[in-house]
Amino acid sequence: MNLKEFSEILGLSPTTVSRALGGYPEVKEDTRKLVLDAAREHGYRPNRRAASLATGRAMAIGHVIPTALNHEMVNPVFADFIAGAGDVYARAGYDLVLSVVEDGDELRAYRQMASTGSVDGLIVHGPRLDDPRIALLQDMHLPFVVHGRGPEDSHPYSFVDVDNNRAFRRATDLLLDLGHRRIALLNGNETMDFASRRRDGYVSALAGRGLAHDDTLMFSGEMSEQNGHAAALRMLSGADRPTAFLVSSLIMAIGVRRAVTDIGLNVGKDVSIVTHDDMLSYLGNGTDVPIFTATRSSVRAAGRRCAEILLSHITTPDQPPVQEIWESDLVLGASTGPNLPVQTA
């Protein structure tokens, strides 16, 4: 059923029908109601592609998610981020076009989405320290919003980020205040912007107490349960073992907890854990008292906000960029406690 057929059923011209559906004022209210009712009854809906072609608006937003085929990992925060963003898109009548590409092929994916005109804007996921994508997107004059932050030397652009440096500085300070001195950092891949900032926060908190950081207590890599377990186990079985862990993701923290219990120690008593918690829907950090003491920020809310900003850039261009740096909560849970003097007993 196309517009022509549909308008013939109604005995109206395509123009009038289109205007009625589009909500334009040049059509009598009675007529509009007639048209809307008939559309519902006959199940008519304008063809998306034809409408896009005519208006020049794709009514779709692109998300490019990298999947490292060598190390096979899909970042689990995508699901929640996209749930948040997708909700906003749906309300505004936008589609969400997902492109799954191998790491390193992202530039090509962006270029293609832009030149084929299949999206009106893009979300940039997981910016790296030296990320070429942002410059490319600025060149292409396609609206975009970054989840996180990339290089800041270029022209300003819109982003939503959490204050990773501050969050991990505060978390480290908390552990220091509890008397811990051997604090391990299990971080994400430090070529990623967020991980780099978290490391800086951790290092500067230590430096603030005149402590040097110890490379043997620092891990940087994919934030999987396995990696958390392996790294923690290695550190705990070394001499002069850590009494506390600062971890970049809840999943990784679960691996740390398993390592701690594996060797017969107690989380929150013998070993403290502080983790970052993205508030993923399927991995809640306890209902009553949090399981883990955590720096907490909802990635779903970030998805929602990124989508809102992007849509506003699309509907009214030439706005100044929106840059939001969210403070994350530091919530106390059951995984931290004071460093007891007699720990090796």
Partner DNA sequence: CGGGTTGACCAAAGCGATTTGAGGCCTTTT
Partner DNA sequence: AAAAGGCCTCAAATCGCTTTGGTCAACCCG
CA distances from 92 to 86, 111, 121, 144, 324 (A): 10, 25, 14, 17, 22
Partner interacting with residue 340 (select from its own copies, DNA, none; CB below 5-8 Å by kind): none
Count of residues in the chain: 345
Does position 291 interact with its own copies (CB under 8 A)? The reply is yes
Relative to beta strand 293-296, strand 144-147 is unpaired
Does position 26 interact with DNA (CB under 7 A)? The reply is yes
Pair of tokens at residue 57: 């608006």
Does position 325 interact with DNA (CB under 7 A)? The reply is no
CA 278 to mean position of chain CA atoms: 9
Partner interacting with residue 72 (select from DNA, its own copies, none; CB below 5-8 Å by kind): its own copies
Determine which residue in the list 132, 284, 321, 338 makes contact with its own copies, applying CB under 8 A.
284
Does position 46 interact with DNA (CB under 7 A)? The reply is yes
State the DSSP string of 17-73. Answer: HHHHHHT-TTS-HHHHHHHHHHHHHHT----HHHHHHHHS---EEEEEEEEBTTTTB
Does position 3 interact with DNA (CB under 7 A)? The reply is yes
Q: Which stretch binds its own copies (CB under 8 A): 7-15, 65-73, 146-154, 174-182?
A: 65-73
Partner interacting with residue 28 (select from its own copies, DNA, none; CB below 5-8 Å by kind): DNA
CB of 130 or CB of 282, closer to its own copies: 282
CB of 49 or CB of 181, closer to DNA: 49
3 state DSSP class of 271: strand
Burial of residue 326 (CB within 10 Å: 0-12, 13-18, 19+) is middle
Q: Closest by alpha carbon to 164, among 314, 296, 27, 24?
A: 296
Query: What residues form DSSP beta bridges with 246?
Result: 185, 274
Partner interacting with residue 38 (select from its own copies, DNA, none; CB below 5-8 Å by kind): none
Determine which residue in the list 9, 36, 54, 69 makes contact with DNA, applying CB under 7 A.
54
Partner interacting with residue 237 (select from DNA, its own copies, none; CB below 5-8 Å by kind): none
Does position 22 interact with DNA (CB under 7 A)? The reply is yes
Measured distance CA(289)–CA(334) in Å, rounded: 7
Q: Which stretch binds DNA (CB under 7 A): 15-23, 96-104, 180-188, 229-237?
A: 15-23
Measured distance CA(54)–CA(50) in Å, rounded: 6
CB of 201 or CB of 337, closer to its own copies: 337
Question: Taking the CA of residue 49 as centre, how many other CA atoms within 13 Å lie in the half-sphere pointing to its CB?
Answer: 2
| Identity at 302, one-letter amino acid code | A
Least distance from C-beta 130 to its own copies, angstroms? 24
- The Cβ of residue 289 has, within 10 Å, a number of other Cβ atoms equal to 10
Does position 275 interact with its own copies (CB under 8 A)? The reply is no
CB of 123 or CB of 205, closer to its own copies: 123
Does position 19 interact with DNA (CB under 7 A)? The reply is yes
CB of 11 or CB of 264, closer to DNA: 11
CA distances from 148 to 70, 160, 340 (A): 24, 6, 38
DSSP 56: S
Measured distance CA(303)–CA(53) in Å, rounded: 28
Does position 258 interact with its own copies (CB under 8 A)? The reply is yes
Determine which residue in the list 36, 53, 263, 289 makes contact with DNA, applying CB under 7 A.
53
Burial of residue 192 (CB within 10 Å: 0-12, 13-18, 19+) is buried
Q: Which stretch binds its own copies (CB under 8 A): 7-15, 22-30, 113-121, 197-205?
A: 113-121
Pair of tokens at residue 35: 């048209």
- Interface residues with DNA (CB under 7 A) are 2-4, 6, 11-16, 18-19, 21-22, 26-28, 31, 46-47, 50-51, 53-56
- Interface residues with its own copies (CB under 8 A) are 1, 43-50, 52-53, 58, 60, 65, 67, 72-76, 78-80, 82-83, 86-87, 89-90, 95-101, 111-112, 115-118, 222-226, 230, 251, 254, 257-258, 261, 280-284, 286-287, 291
